Structure 1
Amino acid sequence: MPTSQPDASGPSEDRATPDALLHTRTGTDVSPEDLVLASGKDLTPKSLEWARRKLAEEGPAAMEKLLP
């Protein structure tokens, strides 16, 4: 009876994405729409206003705080 082997296509520690490749900044400006969507909220006038205020106060770091 054959023994089962781990699936080579499955996730493993050897296949984890290196930290240096995990980032949220794309080199482009963060829009209020981007911030709303990253926060999991619906695009509404109220949520867009929230995002505008947050970007004005924190700049692009607002996105970094939402996404690791």
Structure 2
Amino acid sequence: MSTITPDESRSSDDHCTPDALLHSAPSRDITLEDLVMAAGRDVTPKNLDWARRKMEKEGPTAIERLLP
């Protein structure tokens, strides 16, 4: 049984992926399901109706208002 540490198992040319490449902004087309899940709610017909009304009132920025 070997006792290789994670650093020893990497080849010398391995590099960490920059944080900016690991995260991507959502597309401009926010779905109702996206809005419901961002609000921490279950995707149900009632919550989809809530999301539809919120999107009609606030537009795509509705999801930004849910984020801290």
TM class by smaller structure:
0.5 to 0.7
Q: How many residues align?
A: 45
Question: Percent same amino acid at aligned positions?
Answer: 56
Larger gyration radius, structure 1 or structure 2: 2
2:26 aligns with 26
Distance in 1 (alpha carbons) for counterparts of 2:62 and 2:34: 11
Q: Do the aligned partners of 2:32 and 2:48 also contact (CA within 8 Å) in 1?
A: yes
Moved over 6 A (4+): none
Which is bigger in relative contact order (C-alpha 8 A, separation at least 6)? 1
TM-score (norm 1): 0.59
Q: Which runs of 5+ in 2 are unaligned?
A: 1-23
Name stretches of at least 5 consecutive residues in structure 1 with no aligned partner: 1-23
TM-score w.r.t. the length of structure 2 is 0.59
